[in-house]
A and B are shown apart, each in its own frame.
Chain A
Amino acid sequence: MKKVLNPFLLCALVLLIAMILNIMIGSAAIPLKTLFEVISAAFGGTRAASDPNGTFSTILFSLRLPHMALMLLVGAGLAGSGAAYQGLFRNPLADPYLIGVASGAGLGAVAAMSIHWPFTTLGLMAIPLAAFFGAVAAVAVVSLMARVGKTIPTTSLILAGVVVSSFCTALSSLLMINSSGDLRRALVWLLGGATQTGWAPVLAVLPYILIGMVILLAVGNPLNVMQFGDEQASQLGIPVTRVRWLTIAAATLTTAAAVAYAGVIGFVGLVVPHILRLIWGGDYRKLIPLSFLGGASLLLLTDVVARSIMAPQEVPVGIITSLMGAPFFLWLLRRSRSQNYW
């Protein structure tokens, strides 16, 4: 089966299905037939017969589609970053959430919001940047704390991640309580729920995540070579230090942009690369792009669950990913111990 099915085609197909489901399902369900009619009518500049008032059209183009696009970008970015962090730390349990990067990004974003950055396009773009600096600081602290000699063992990586993560989350909470803003909205965001609707957040994260993704695609082969250690990588033609910084920058930028607009969403970066690795192996040239597709699919589907499980109330999607991801993480931990990863 592994050879018959092109992994990219298969994952793209899954993504397509996830995209359609994500658009269809919600507080007002859009039937598949109507969905296609509304979309094709919009291309023709007319209104579909099944949508005389334009209600579906409005829901679709100003709510569902932008939300779907945001979830797609965020899921792709988080899973791709997770794969890259795993390659970089040579540790299959690294994940933007577990190693504290997401919380660091969260702190950065909260700090930016709490000093009332102007709510303009520039302001929107600045929040991911603030999140980026928070995330970079978190990565730096975690990798310094977790380093034992030249390696970063799983236990110390996760412990350092927990410490940094708790600290950042506590600080974020403090800032939020202190600010006069809408506490519930802030809480939803911190738990991993998008708090802004429409196309503005999509356009704000798009450049960061796209740049991050292109760089992550380029470091696939270098990450493969670096699994053999820095010396061999250098002898095989890899500028190790530069690749390391580039990878950290790209993965962190992507994570930060995702967190800034979709909140702190955990475990997508862990679960997706892991499942893909089990099926198609650990070649980062394949694993990273497949993680983009798989992460987007998983988050779109989880988002459907999050929006329908307590409907009409929407649950932050981060709660669902953590509910599913935490047991998965435990299973991995037990499995990896029996395989002597650490």
Chain B
Amino acid sequence: MLKITHIKAGYDQRLVLDNVSLDLDPGQLVALIGPNGAGKSTLIRAISGLLPLHQGVIEVDGKDVHSLNENQRAQKIAVVPQARNLPPAFTAREVVALGRTPYLNWLGLLSDSDEKIIDQAMAQTDTLEFSSRLVNELSGGEQQRLLLARALVQQTPYLLLDEPTSHLDLQFQISLMERVHRLAHPTNGDSPRAVLAAVHDLNLALEFADRVALLVKGQVLICGEPAEVLKPEILSSIYNVPLALLRDPNNGQVAILPKVHH
């Protein structure tokens, strides 16, 4: 289990996370939502050990994240960043292979079993077909899937995603979230992962998350089932937009939409 207990963290004098507590369990996809500047990315950076904590503790499987070195941490927690400014000189496969870094020998050479793991992850993310193309020739959606594959080959029980869908077209948003959901609920016998995904789109959270954590001004305001958290009466005031929950009469699917008055 990944356990975040009363952490405070920030940059220089500015406190961004103010007393955040949150648990991540294997087999669950937790969506982290909240308005811009609420601290979603900062929380992900903090969990991955990049930020010193002013207070509180983050434990992975009973160990303080800050007591682990980079290598040990990278074997526990993988992060999928936003696909922006990727170095152009790498092929798709080379990018994915970098995820094996925590397991390599001093010369950084890949073994046959490393290659196999890379193949699997690329198959799982549908990236094999452009395996030998250069990263800068790929679309945003393809790059994002590569970064997901890179995180998968780290073979960590915990996976953090920082707004993985924000630059993607609609169909890619859905398919990426489906893949991520499957990582928490694998059907192929893999062990289920604990996934935390910061998402912008409330409807993706509603559709795919097992639990939703609402982060506002550096505090987790509420964390629970999607239907409990994603209520117009809670969110309207936080996002400063009147919202409505619409239900499709045919299949019962719900969506949150802003009420816009012209």
Given that A232-B81, A235-B78, A237-B102 are known contacts, is A217 also in contact with B107, CB under 8 Å in the complex? yes
Given that A231-B50, A283-B94 are known contacts, is A237 also in contact with B86, CB under 8 Å in the complex? no
Asked if B256 CB lies within 8 Å of chain A CBs, one says no
Name the residue of chain A whose CB is nearest to the CB of B107.
Answer: A217
Given that A228-B98, A237-B73, A239-B70 are known contacts, is A218 also in contact with B90, CB under 8 Å in the complex? no
Interface residues of A: mostly helix, strand, loop or mixed?
helix
Taken residue by residue from 188 to 201, chain B's Cβ proximity to chain A (1 for < 8 Å, 0 otherwise) reads as 00000000000000
Give the chain A neighbours of B90 by CB distance below 8 A.
224, 227, 282
Asked if B125 CB lies within 8 Å of chain A CBs, one says no
Complex Cα spacing A152 to B105, Å: 30
Contact in complex: A238, B70 (CB < 8 Å) = yes
The residue that A225 contacts in the complex, of B98, B106, B109, with Cβ under 8 A, is B98
Complex Cα spacing A277 to B90, Å: 11
Complex Cα spacing A90 to B78, Å: 24
Complex Cα spacing A220 to B94, Å: 13
The residue that B109 contacts in the complex, of A231, A238, A240, A285, with Cβ under 8 A, is A285
Contact in complex: B98, A235 (CB < 8 Å) = no
Interface residue tally for chain B (C-beta within 8 Å): 32
The residue that A235 contacts in the complex, of B79, B87, B91, B104, with Cβ under 8 A, is B79
Contact in complex: A221, B87 (CB < 8 Å) = no
Asked if A210 CB lies within 8 Å of chain B CBs, one says no
Contact in complex: A224, B108 (CB < 8 Å) = yes
Contact in complex: A228, B87 (CB < 8 Å) = yes
Asked if A27 CB lies within 8 Å of chain B CBs, one says no
Asked if A31 CB lies within 8 Å of chain B CBs, one says no
Contact in complex: B89, A282 (CB < 8 Å) = yes
Q: What range describes how many residues of A lie at the interface?
A: 20 to 34
Complex Cα spacing A90 to B90, Å: 13
Name the residue of chain A whose CB is nearest to the CB of B72.
Answer: A237
Contact in complex: B99, A236 (CB < 8 Å) = yes
Complex Cα spacing A224 to B90, Å: 9
Contact in complex: A218, B69 (CB < 8 Å) = no
Give the chain B neighbours of A222 by CB distance below 8 A.
101, 108
Asked if B49 CB lies within 8 Å of chain A CBs, one says yes
Q: Give chain B interface residues in 98-122, CB to chain A under 8 Å.
A: 98-99, 101-102, 104, 106-109
A158 to chain B, nearest CB (A): 20
Complex Cα spacing A276 to B102, Å: 27
Name the residue of chain A whose CB is nearest to the CB of B94.
Answer: A283
Taken residue by residue from 48 to 63, chain B's Cβ proximity to chain A (1 for < 8 Å, 0 otherwise) reads as 1110000000000000
Complex Cα spacing A234 to B89, Å: 20
Complex Cα spacing A222 to B106, Å: 10
Contact in complex: A227, B87 (CB < 8 Å) = yes
Contact in complex: B78, A224 (CB < 8 Å) = no
Complex Cα spacing A132 to B71, Å: 31
Asked if B154 CB lies within 8 Å of chain A CBs, one says yes
Complex Cα spacing A237 to B220, Å: 29
Give the chain A neighbours of B73 by CB distance below 8 A.
235, 237
Contact in complex: A234, B50 (CB < 8 Å) = yes
Asked if A281 CB lies within 8 Å of chain B CBs, one says yes
Give the chain B neighbours of A282 by CB distance below 8 A.
89-90
Complex Cα spacing A227 to B87, Å: 6
The residue that B101 contacts in the complex, of A231, A237, A277, with Cβ under 8 A, is A237
Contact in complex: A220, B98 (CB < 8 Å) = no
A308 to chain B, nearest CB (A): 38
B143 to chain A, nearest CB (A): 12
Given that A221-B101, A225-B98, A228-B98 are known contacts, is A236 also in contact with B74, CB under 8 Å in the complex? yes
Q: Give chain A interface residues in 234-262, CB to chain B under 8 Å.
A: 234-240
Complex Cα spacing A236 to B154, Å: 8
Name the residue of chain A whose CB is nearest to the CB of B102.
Answer: A237
Asked if B166 CB lies within 8 Å of chain A CBs, one says no
Complex Cα spacing A225 to B87, Å: 10
Given that A227-B90, A235-B48, A237-B71 are known contacts, is A220 also in contact with B102, CB under 8 Å in the complex? no
Q: Give chain B interface residues in 214-243, CB to chain A under 8 Å.
A: none
Complex Cα spacing A99 to B78, Å: 36
Complex Cα spacing A225 to B78, Å: 14
Contact in complex: B104, A228 (CB < 8 Å) = no
The residue that A239 contacts in the complex, of B48, B69, B107, B109, with Cβ under 8 A, is B69
Asked if B173 CB lies within 8 Å of chain A CBs, one says no
Contact in complex: B70, A234 (CB < 8 Å) = yes
Give the chain A neighbours of B182 by CB distance below 8 A.
none
A116 to chain B, nearest CB (A): 41
Contact in complex: A237, B75 (CB < 8 Å) = yes
Taken residue by residue from 245 to 257, chain B's Cβ proximity to chain A (1 for < 8 Å, 0 otherwise) reads as 0000000000000
Asked if B45 CB lies within 8 Å of chain A CBs, one says yes
Complex Cα spacing A283 to B49, Å: 27
Contact in complex: B108, A221 (CB < 8 Å) = yes
A7 to chain B, nearest CB (A): 15
Given that A228-B98, A283-B94 are known contacts, is A235 also in contact with B74, CB under 8 Å in the complex? yes
Give the chain B neighbours of A232 by CB distance below 8 A.
79, 81
The residue that A285 contacts in the complex, of B48, B71, B107, with Cβ under 8 A, is B107
B231 to chain A, nearest CB (A): 34
Give the chain A neighbours of B45 by CB distance below 8 A.
231
A2 to chain B, nearest CB (A): 11
19 CB < 8 A contacts A-B: A90-B87, A221-B98, A221-B107, A224-B90, A224-B108, A229-B85, A231-B45, A234-B48, A234-B49, A235-B48, A236-B74, A236-B98, A236-B99, A237-B70, A237-B71, A239-B71, A281-B89, A281-B91, A285-B108
Top 3 closest pairs, chain A to chain B, by CB: A221-B108, A237-B74, A237-B102
